[in-house]
Structure 1
């Protein structure tokens, strides 16, 4: 077990933590071994093939020495044996050598962990010595337990690679930041909410970064039941959210959320989940126009939020003056904004509320449907991604459609109600609360990206949670008048979510997909 930032991590996890940092060429792996250079590797269908550690394994002509024969693939090789003991190490089994001639004969007959009888020659005896017979028997056991291996040529000028470096050698198929593999048969976005009184993971009053738009209890919400739930996928379980592990993996890295005010809630949720394990003096938050930056100083890591509600240029790009009567998006390259995202190690995108017009290159404005405007935005985003993102360095995520609950009649409630005064979930699983027509557009446009994009489908996660919106328990630019409070339904916010709450689960899903894709 290795201790990383207070988290006990087993060697397989340590092995996969560094997977993105080093690769070897397929040409080198395909070359066969010479008589002198011995190695072997396991073929596994359950995970990507691993590169082979380069070793220099000299067979000493001196009596009384040990030599090392490597293990398969990524398996930890047997330790180097000390001089003065007698034998050959095949994985963890030791085979004694009696003479220099027998040692030379063993060199010719052991290939990886496979021990074969040498071809007879006119000068060789037809009867094996006891030590070679023992080697045959023991190595047969190794073959049975280790699987088949193949041979690769190793070069004399390469010294043995330390074990810690060996753990980092992987193939390029593994995504950046992946430290394990999730259950490929499990849809973690399909599931149910289950009661859990160990929630919430933090208190509203303990996180100084929650803005007034999300502090429901602080603005007089009388009930707390909406906080005591967790998401349970149907066919599997989510890995536990580990703040220390995430910070360790973000050491020296930069993560950025790009989107609207709803997405700012997820950014704030993640900051609250992480800030608990950081000393107060080692964290800070600052806002520079459209960019808000949370810094974990001891980790040299930043988590950022960039205000861009439509992911393309629009007349709502000013983070303080975005309340406009008629929203207009521009069909133009997004490089002016994208320059602030370029170079980030993890980027999450989101855009949602789509109503307005499109301004073309000739500055002519035409009204467009929600679907057409959404498609234009995704096309421009994918074009920027293909031109600016290195898939070997950066992980990309697109967060899907969050349910709204603005008309209670759609889920069988009051004819003129909404989320106001709702304290229980929707029981009818047919309600979605999102624009279903956008799903095929998301699938079609994201598939055109040359860089892998992980889609976080939060629609079902949010569809039943009419009880968890901020409603009227939030800060308004202009506080509600007594008359408005007497009839609060038209003023209830049924889009944004209270924190702590539903958006903590979004980050739990993000954690699982980031580290266990």
Structure 2
């Protein structure tokens, strides 16, 4: 009996050791992805680690002078009374983030095509970049197709927006609308671009009537529902294979816009009764009390498998600190409290400063 108990204890100890070694390996692997991404920027500098500081020179543009902003992001126009949230700049711990220069951006990318691919947070970032460039060349000739493209004709630069919330396909089958986790048929529209900035996560959490499909398909199997992180991993893995098979990275630079957080649960920043509504400033310091969302680990895991170089705009933590930067109730005709998207001017301008830094460094 004593021998059996001793053997059982040894087996349990071995299983615990294996579990923790796998967890440590996964954590080290995710950290390694971060380091490889950051080394592509500046030696010894992590642009995504830092804090928010007051900067009287901000914002980078006036929303009233930008013709590209949708009402849902135009917080000042729709009555947000405080302006302090516009006055914060991101300060990396060990280096300086280059200030955005729209003329320089246009000259560097003269004759090029840049496409944002994803959901409404891609739209948020696309409109931000359009406004930032427009503020630098306010008299330049532009051609604007709402929610599709902005062309700066004098430079031959076009910014495209391609809406596809899941990156993978929603198809009509006999059973109804099916999210096919293994299929990307829209990808032909992404080919031939000089820069691609992908994003997906926001819609994977939608359920019920706000979910635009009825079933998941994974290979030959149909599911009425799935664990959303598992589904996200499968869909994002399909995207990764698409990038490896279809993108010539000697010609096209590929970015993935990291997970954009929400601020509906005040307990995440130690204010249990709060949401983003009424928040007037960022969190101090460089860490978020709740830590990174599980979806960020999925992004790291998928990017670790991809063969082609994909640059992660690791915006999650710096965005988590900006509980004050959402539209909340100042979101045009949109009812409710929006703690998912971001005011313009605002946080997405920093995302684009990080994109600019990645392109010039």
Using structure 1 for the length normalisation, give the TM-score: 0.57
**Could you say which residue in structure 2 is the equivalent of 1:501?**
346
Cα deviation 1:126-180 (Å, max 9, x = unaligned): xxxxxxxxxxxxxxxxxxxxxxxxxxxxxxxxxxxxxxxxxxxxxxxxxxxxxxx
Aligned position for 1:450: 307
In the aligned structure 1, how far is the partner of 2:308 from the partner of 2:254?
8
Distance 1:434 1:257 in 2: 27
Given the alignment of the two structures, is residue 409 of structure 1 paired with residue 254 of structure 2, yes or no? no
SS in 2 for 1:263: helix
Residue in structure 1 matched with residue 254 of structure 2 by the alignment: 396
Sort the Cα spacing of 1:235 and 1:435 in 2 relative to 1 into closer, same or farther, 3 A.
closer
TM-score (norm 2): 0.80
Larger radius of gyration: 1
| Equivalent of residue 191 in structure 1, options 35, 41, 50 | 50
Secondary structure of the residue that 1:272 maps to in structure 2?
Answer: helix
1:329: which partner in 2? 179
Matched, 1:292 2:137: no
Tell me the residue number matched to 2:17: none
The alpha-carbon distance between structure 1 residues 365 and 445, as it changes in their structure 2 partners (threshold 3 A), is same
Matched, 1:245 2:118: no
Q: Label 1:332 to 1:410 Cα distance change in 2 as closer, same or farther (>3 A).
A: closer
Matched, 1:345 2:200: no
Work out the number of aligned pairs and report it.
310
User: 1: distance between equivalents of 2:358 and 2:289?
Assistant: 23
Aligned residues of 2:254 and 2:309 also touching (Cα < 8 A): yes
How far residue 245 of structure 1 moved from its aligned partner, in angstroms, is 1.1
Q: Tell me how far 1:464 sits from its aligned partner.
A: 1.5
Once residues 184 and 327 of structure 1 are traced to their aligned partners in structure 2, the CA distance between those partners, rounded to angstroms, is: 48
CA pair 431-240 structure 1, distance change in 2 beyond 3 A: closer
- Root-mean-square deviation (CA, aligned residues, Å) is 2.3
- The Cα of 1:314 is off from its aligned counterpart by 2.7
Superposition pairs for residues 46-57 of structure 1, below 5 Å?
Answer: none
Q: Give 1:361 deviation, angstroms.
A: 4.7
Alignment of 1:48-67 (within 5 A): none
Q: Distance in 2 between matches of 1:277 and 1:310?
A: 33
Deviation at 1:328, TM superposition (A): 5.4
Higher percent of residues as helix: 2
Q: 1:279 to 1:195 in 2, by over 3 A?
A: closer
* CA 210–332 in structure 1, closer or farther in 2 if over 3 Å, else same: same
SS of equivalent residue, structure 1 residue 404:
coil
Cα offset, 1:413, TM superposition: 1.8
Alignment partners' CA distance in 2, 1:229 and 1:277: 20
Structure showing greater relative contact order (alpha-carbon pairs closer than 8 Å, 6 or more residues apart): 2
- 1:57-95 per-residue CA deviation (whole Å, 9 max, x = no partner) reads xxxxxxxxxxxxxxxxxxxxxxxxxxxxxxxxxxxxxxx
Verify the 8 A CA contact 1:358 1:366 in the aligned structure 2: yes
